[in-house]
Chain A
Amino acid sequence: MTAKPLARRLPGSRSPSPDTPPLTSTLSGWGRAPVVPGVEIRDEDLRALTKDIPLVRGLGRAYGDAALPAPGDVAIAGSTRADRILSFDPTTGILRAEAGLSLDTICDLFLPRGFFTPITPGTRFVTLGGMVACDVHGKNHHVDGTFGRHVGALTVRTGTGQIVTCSPDRHADLFWATIGGMGLTGAVLDVTVRLTPIPSPWIFEERECMSDIDTFVTALKGAQATWPMTAGWIDCLSGGRSMGRGVILRGRWATAAEAPGPFPGGYRRPSVPFDFPEFALSRPTIRLFNDVFYLKHRRGSRRVVHPYTFFYPLDAIGRWTRMYGTRGFTQYQCVLPEAAGPDAPRRFLTALTSRGGASFLCVIKDCGAEGQGLLSFPRPGISIALDIPMRDHTQALIDALNEQVLREGGRIYLAKDALSRAEHYRAMDPRIGHFLDVRRHWDPDGRIRSAQSARLFGW
C-alpha cells in the first residue's frame, strides 16, 4: 500500500486547505530547545512519503534544530518505520538497509553474530540515515574516521524528486555532500555500510584519572597508537592547576578468551519520570557531581564491560534530558585544530568558565584525519562537547565560545547546534561554499530546508 496523500493525513501541511484546523503540535530536538510548530509524519514507505515532505527526521537525537522544519514549513518525514534490512552478507559484513533502521536494532541483531557498526556515536538510538546525515564519529575516530568512510552507497531522493544511487564512484558530489550534509541534499532512503567483525561482543576498558587538561591531552595522544578507542570526561569547573582534570577512557574489543560469555542483550532502562527544576543543574550541583565522579575513579580501573556500558552510558537512563528542566539544554561541540597548539583546550575552558559556563557532562576526544564529507565535523585536533542548560545568558555564552573557536581556527558540530549565528558558523568552515554549490545543483528550488539551514544558510 502506498502512503496516503499527505493532504488527507495532515491538517495544516504545506498546502493547508481552508477547512483544516490550525496546527497545534510542536517539535523539538533532543535538547528540547528550540520548540517549533510542526508535525512528524511517519510511514513504512519512505519513498512515497518524501515525495511530499523532503526533509527527514530519524529518532530525533540531533540536539538542536537540524531535524526541525524551517520557518513556514510544518511537516517533517519520520523515517523510523522505514527500517527493513535489505541484505546482509556475513562473509563481507556489508549491510544494506532502509534509512530508518536504528543502531539499537543493529546492535541487537549483529552483536550476537560477531559484527558491530564501524563507527558509533554516544547513543544507539539513532538511525542509519541520521548517522549518514551527521557523519557521526566515535571513540575510534583517531583510527577509523567517521561513519561516511565506511558507507559504500546511498539511495537518495533529491530536491527535484529524483531517486539517485550515489557512492564514492557514482555521483560522488552528491554522495560526499550527503555524508555529513544534515539531510539537506536529499532524503536518504537506504544505506549500504560495511559492519566490522569483532572478536567478542565485550569491551576491555581502562579508566585513569588525569590531573589537568594538559596531562589529559598528552594522554589522549599517547593512547592513539595502542588503543583503538579513547575518550574522556573532564571537570570543566575545576580551575587553576587542576583545570580540566578528568577521567580518560581507553578501550578495545575483548578477545574471545577475555569475554565472560555471549552477548547478553540489552537491559531495562529506568526513566527520568519528570522535568527537574532548574536549580537541580546549577553550578553547585555540577561541582558536586564532578567531585564525586572524579574521586570515584581516582584509583582507575581495568575491566571487561558490556558494550553498552562503554559506548552508551547515557542510554542507561531513559529521557535523561528531563534533568535539564522544561527549558531544555543545548549541546555545544567544537574541534580545536592541532595548529592551535597544545594550550588551545585550556584557553577554551578558560573562555567557558570565565563567562560562568558550566557543563554537567564535558566530553573530550582527540580526532584523527578529516573525512571526505563536505560538512563532516571532525578534523585533527581536540574535540570538546558540553551540555549547557538553556538560560537567559546561554546565547551570549554560545556566541563567546564560537568567537573563541574562531580564534583557534576550529569549528562546531551541526548535529549539536541550536544557537550559533550564521556569521560565526560560516566563518569557521571554508568548505561551506562547495557544499552549497552541490546542494543547489541537486535541489535548485531549495525544497529541502530545515530550521537549522534557514538559520545558518538562509535557506
Chain B
Amino acid sequence: MKVILVGATKGIGRAVARRLASRGASMSLLGRDKAELERSARDLEARGAAGRVVTALCDMADPDTFDAALASADADLDGFDTVVVTAAAFATQERLEAEPALLRRLLDTNFTNTILFCEAARKSLLSHGGGTLCVVSSVAGERGRKPVVLYGASKAGLSAYLEGLDHKFRPQGLVTVCVKPGFVTTSMTEGLPAPPLAGTPEAVAARIVRAIDRGTPVVYAPGIWALVMFVIRLLPRTVMRRVGF
C-alpha cells in the first residue's frame, strides 16, 4: 500500500497514519509545517512504516501548492494507490457567526480547497489506473442543525461531492470513502463538553482503515452514529426547530 496523507500530524489523521504504518505501508505526509511533518515521519518509521516516510509541503489554505505536493509524493513513492485527507478546520457556531474572516477560512478549507485537492488527487489516481480516495467529512453535514449550521454546511457540501465522485468514478477504479465521524476527542474539540457517544481517534482510525480495505463508500465513526443519524434524518423540520442538538 502506498499512501498519501494530508493531516497526519494530528488527531484522527495521526491515528490513521499509525495504523497504516503498523501494517507496513509506504507513506508520504503532506502538510504545511516541514518540521512537524518530519517529526511525524520519524514516528511512523519507528512504528513500522515501510522504508523512509517522505514529506512534502502542502497548505490546504493555498490550492497552488496541491499539484506540486502530489507530484512530489508521487515521485518519492514511485506511484501511489491511496489518498487519505483528514485535514480540516473547526470552530464553534458562536465564533463563526462572530468572526466572518474565520468563517471564510473554514469554508475555504473544508469545502473549496478540500474539493480542489481531491480533484487533483482524483486525476492523479485515475492516471495510475485508480485507487482509493478517503476523506473525512462529518455527521454535522447530515442535517442542518443549530449548533453546527456553518461548519455543518461546509461538511454537507463535501459529503455531497464525495458521493457524486463515488457514483461517477467507481466504475473506472476510483473508490471514494466518505468518513462521517461524530464527536471525536481530539485537540480540535478540546475544551468542548464531550457527548456520551464521543469517539477516540484510535477507534475512528480503525473504522477508517477497515473502510479503506473494504471500499466502503460511507462510514460513520463510531458506528453508533449511523443509527443516530438515521433517526435524525427522519425527524421533521418542526422537531428540528425545537430541539437544540
Select from chain A the residue with minimum beta-carbon distance to B10. Answer: A44
Task: Count A/B pairs, Cβ under 8 Å.
Answer: 39
Task: Give the chain B neighbours of A87 by CB distance below 8 A.
Answer: 42, 46
Question: Within the assembled complex, what's the spacing in Å between the Cα atoms of A86 and B46?
Answer: 8
A85-B46, A109-B47 known; A41-B190 Cβ under 8 A: yes
**8 Å CB interface, A304-335 against B:** none
Contacting residue for A41 out of B10, B40, B43, B191, CB 8 A: B191
Name the A residues within 8 Å of B14 (CB-CB).
Answer: 44
Q: Does A227 contact B (CB under 8 A)?
A: no
Q: Tell me, in angstroms, the Cα distance from A40 to B14 when the chains sit together.
A: 21
B187 on interface, CB distance cutoff 8 Å = yes
The one of B42, B190, B191 in contact with A84, judged by C-beta atoms closer than 8 angstroms, is B42
- State whether B11 touches A84 (Cβ < 8 A): no
Contacts of A45 in B (CB 8 A): 187
Q: How far is the CA of A302 from the CA of B87 in the complex (A)?
A: 53
Chain B CB within 10 Å — which of A4, A11, A44 has the most?
A44
Q: Mark A72-116, 1 if CB is under 8 A from B, else 0.
A: 000000000100111110000000000000000000010000000
A85-B43 contact, Cβ under 8 Å, with A1-B10, A44-B10, A44-B11? yes
A84 to B44, CA, bound (A): 8
Question: Which residues of A lie under 8 Å from residue B39 when comparing CB positions?
Answer: 84, 86
Residues of chain A from 1 to 54 with CB closer than 8 A to chain B in the complex: 1, 3-4, 8-11, 41-45
Q: In the bound complex, how far is the Cα of B185 from the Cα of A43, in angstroms?
A: 11
**Chain A residue contacts of B187, Cβ below 8 A:** 3, 42-45, 81
Q: Given A1-B10, A44-B9, A44-B11, answer yes or no on A88-B191 (Cβ-Cβ < 8 Å).
A: no
> Quick one: given A86-B43, A87-B42, A88-B46, are A43 and B190 in contact (CB under 8 Å)?
yes
Q: Is the CB of B190 within 8 A of A42?
A: yes
In the bound complex, residues from chain B placing their C-beta under 8 Å from that of A4 are 190
Which residues of B sit under 8 angstroms from A84, Cβ to Cβ? 39-40, 42-43
B192's closest neighbor in chain A, by CB?
Answer: A9
**Best-surrounded residue of B10, B11, B191 (most CB of chain A within 10 A):** B191
Q: Which of B42, B190, B191 meets A85, CB within 8 Å?
A: B42
Q: Which residue on chain B has the smallest CB distance to residue A96? A: B42
A9 in complex: contacting residue of B40, B43, B191, CB < 8 Å: B191
Complex: how many Å from CA A8 to CA B190?
10
For B32-58 the 0/1 string (1 means CB < 8 A from A) is 010000011011001100000000000
Please give, as numbers and ranges, the residues of chain B lying within 8 Å of A41 by CB-CB distance. Answer: 190-191
> Smallest Cβ distance from B124 to chain A, in angstroms?
25
Nearest chain A CB to B2's CB is how many angstroms away? 22
From A40, which residue of chain B is reached at the shortest CB distance?
B190
Q: Which residues in window 332-390 of A have CB below 8 A to B?
A: none
Distance of A55 Cα from B9 Cα, bound (Å): 24
B191 touches A109 (CB 8 A): no
A residues less than 8 Å from B40 (CB atoms): 84
Q: Which of B187-206 contact A (CB under 8 A)?
A: 187, 190-191
Give the residues in chain B near A43, CB-CB below 8 Å: 187, 190
Type the 1/0 row for A286-304, where 1 means its CB is closer than 8 Å to any CB of B: 0000000000000000000
Return chain A residues, CB-CB under 8 Å to B10.
1, 44
Chain B residues with CB below 8 A from A88, complex form = 46
**6 nearest A-B residue pairs (beta carbon):** A84-B43, A9-B191, A85-B46, A43-B187, A85-B43, A44-B10
18 contacts between A and B (CB under 8 A): A1-B10, A8-B191, A9-B190, A10-B191, A11-B191, A41-B191, A42-B187, A42-B190, A43-B190, A44-B10, A44-B11, A81-B187, A85-B42, A85-B43, A85-B47, A86-B39, A87-B46, A109-B47
Residue positions of B touching A, CB distance < 8 A: 9-11, 14, 33, 39-40, 42-43, 46-47, 95, 187, 190-191
Known: A41-B191, A81-B187; 12 extra A-B contacts, CB below 8 A, are A4-B190, A8-B191, A9-B191, A10-B191, A44-B9, A84-B39, A85-B42, A85-B43, A85-B47, A87-B42, A87-B46, A88-B46
